[in-house]
Amino acid sequence: MSLQWQRLRQHLDALVLPDGLSLDPERPVLHVDIDQQLLGLLRPDDPVVRYYPVSTSARGRGQREGSFCTPTGWHRIAECIGAGEPEGRVFRGRRATDEILLPEDYQGDEDVITTRILRLEGLEPGHNRGGDCDSRERYIYLHGTPDEERIGQPASKGCIRLRNSDILDLFEQVRSGDAVLIE
């Protein structure tokens, strides 16, 4: 087991989860490093860590509704949306539209959600769960984007953007309930 995996597991095991929530210690943990603009996929039985470049909020870290910041702390994947949809499928309100938008066709700075959505749910009451800091109610996702040129730099409105090919790959590695640490 890698040292990073052990460190994350110790922190996760010490977390007091709200009633009704549980996490599987045999499942992967996603680690989003805002400073490095990287998402690491860590598995308990595999010393090879897979990294994906990401784009977090242009406004930095923050928990509050309306801040357009990326929330920190422990989360879990609440929903996996978009299975079977083609790369570049545009989603509005977590529903697939008829549109396909690929990076070569993207123009502008609209925060378009494409390909897949992993909706996050905060696990820390008062920090990213409940009240005006609830990540789920803020619609915080890991998702694909046609704005792939800005992957690797803060540019989103709070979500964690990935290249379409990377969200497709990640989507196949995870499931609802998997843990996500954003720091």
**Which domains, from first to last, does the chain contain?**
3-182 (2.40.440.10)
Q: Encoding tokens for residue 118?
A: 């992993």
Rounded distance between C-alpha atoms, residue 166 and residue 164, angstroms: 5
Type and span of the H or E element at 6: helix 3-14
SS3 category, 96: strand
Are 38 and 138 in contact by the 8 Å Cβ rule? The answer is no
Rounded distance between C-alpha atoms, residue 179 and residue 166, angstroms: 18
Rounded distance between C-alpha atoms, residue 160 and residue 155, angstroms: 9
Q: What is the pLDDT of residues 29-44, one digit of tens each?
A: 899 999 999 999 988 7
| Better-scored residue on pLDDT, 13 or 167 | 167
Tell me: pLDDT of 1 over 60. Answer: no
In sequence order, the β-bridge partners of residue 73 are 182
Rounded distance between C-alpha atoms, residue 27 and residue 165, angstroms: 22
Rounded distance between C-alpha atoms, residue 124 and residue 143, angstroms: 22
pLDDT at residue 14, rounded to an integer: 72
Are 132 and 65 in contact by the 8 Å Cβ rule? The answer is yes
Query: 108 falls in which pLDDT band (50, 70, 90)?
Result: confident
Query: 84 falls in which pLDDT band (50, 70, 90)?
Result: very high
